[in-house]
Each structure stands twice: as structure tokens, then as C-alpha cells.
Amino acid sequence: MDTTQSDEQQRSAAARRRRDLLEAADRVVLRDGPQASMNAIAAEAGITKPILYRHFGDKGGLYRALAKRHTDALLSALRAALDAPAERRQRVEATLDTYLAAIEALPEVYRFLMHPAEDAHQPEQGFDVGRHSAPLLRRLGEELAMVIAERVDLGPGSEQLARVWGHGIVGMMHAAGDWWLGERPCSREQLVSSLADLLWGRLAAAADRVDGPGF
């Protein structure tokens, strides 16, 4: 066996092992939410905590890996909603609903990614969720800005305006979704319609880009 093939097999095995560990972490997060600990995740994976640290460094490294895993899936679903063959208003509502449906389906994962553990006796209580969740929201904002810029003709200064809209929409979805998930003051459909009404003003009047896929 040549060195190149051996290196590829090692990388493949490491990737599979990392995927298995992330799946074990997901199971613990689904069960424990923000209280998920490195000890519990190591136990779920059938390994010791030092081995878990070897793969992810610390809880921050594991958090970033889980955040990327779930953010990638969410972005894929959001893009599919934006690109669906429907009228623009319907696609706006579908995009909002996709985000809210995702946090509703996996509330403990959402709380793990966005809220710190409340247990004062938690050994890892010093973990700063806010420091790690802010880049996740910024990534969503930048991705949505690119989608808007590709699809909507916003006139002069369109690139900057698309970024303002992208980050503004993500901030709105995050804040409204966080409140709604905690209090459930209305149905998901009612929230989607209300948020779409808020967004609809200039978005309704903007033209599709002639060189883009349209929005």
C-alpha cells in the first residue's frame, strides 16, 4: 500500500470517527439541551473525555462543529425555499416558515446553540454561548445577503443594501423566533404572515435581477 492511499484511508477514518462523535453529541443535545456536557457526550460515544477533547479541543470546538452541522442543513433548506417555483410573497413566507419549523422541530438543539446552561453547578458554566453564537448569526446574515443580491435589483448601492437586509432579516427571525418558541403566543402560520407583512414593503416593489435567478 502506498503512502498516499494510507493517508487517504486515515483521513477517511478520522472523518467517519468525527461524524460518529457529532452524532453522539446530537443525541445528548436532543436529550439535555443547553445542559449537555462533555462528560455526557463522551459517555454517549463510549469514549473518555480526553479522547473527545483530542477531536474537538474543548466545548467551544465541539459547539462550533455542531453549529456548522446544523447551520449547513438550515442554509440548504432556506435556499430550497427561496428557489422554489412560486410567487415572491409565497417564497418569503416559505423561507420564514422554514426557519421557524427548524427551531420548532429541534428546540433543544436551538437552545444549546443559542442559550447558556442555567445550572449554576454545571462544571462548564463558564462556556460563553454568546461569543460562539454571534458568528453563527453573522454567517446566516451574509449567506442571506448573497441570495438577495443575486436575485433582487435594489438599484444603486445594492450590495450594501442586500447586506443590511440579510442581517436585518436574520436578526428579526432570530429575535421573533426565540420569543415565539418560548411563549407560543400564536400559531407558526400567524407569525410567518405577520413577519412577511413587515418585510413586504420595498421587497414587493423591487424588480428581479435580469442576470440572476429571480426572487
- The residue-averaged pLDDT of 14-40 equals 91
Residue 104 confidence (pLDDT)? 96
Residue 6 confidence (pLDDT)? 73
Taking only the tens place, the pLDDT of each residue in 166-177 is 999 999 999 999
| Mean pLDDT, the chain, whole residue set | 85
Higher pLDDT: 81 or 201? It is 81
Residue 119 confidence (pLDDT)? 47
- The residue-averaged pLDDT of 156-179 equals 93
Residue 120 pLDDT greater than 60, yes or no: no
Residue 1 confidence (pLDDT)? 53
Q: Which domains does the chain have, with CATH numbers?
A: 63-208 (1.10.357.10)
Residue 129 confidence (pLDDT)? 56
Higher pLDDT: 201 or 160? It is 160
Residue 77 confidence (pLDDT)? 93
Residue 148 pLDDT greater than 70, yes or no: yes
Residue 134 confidence (pLDDT)? 83
- The residue-averaged pLDDT of 123-130 equals 52
First to last CA, the chain: 52
At 132, the pLDDT band (50, 70, 90 cuts) reads low
| pTM, two decimal places | 0.81
Residue 126 confidence (pLDDT)? 47
Residue 212 pLDDT greater than 80, yes or no: no
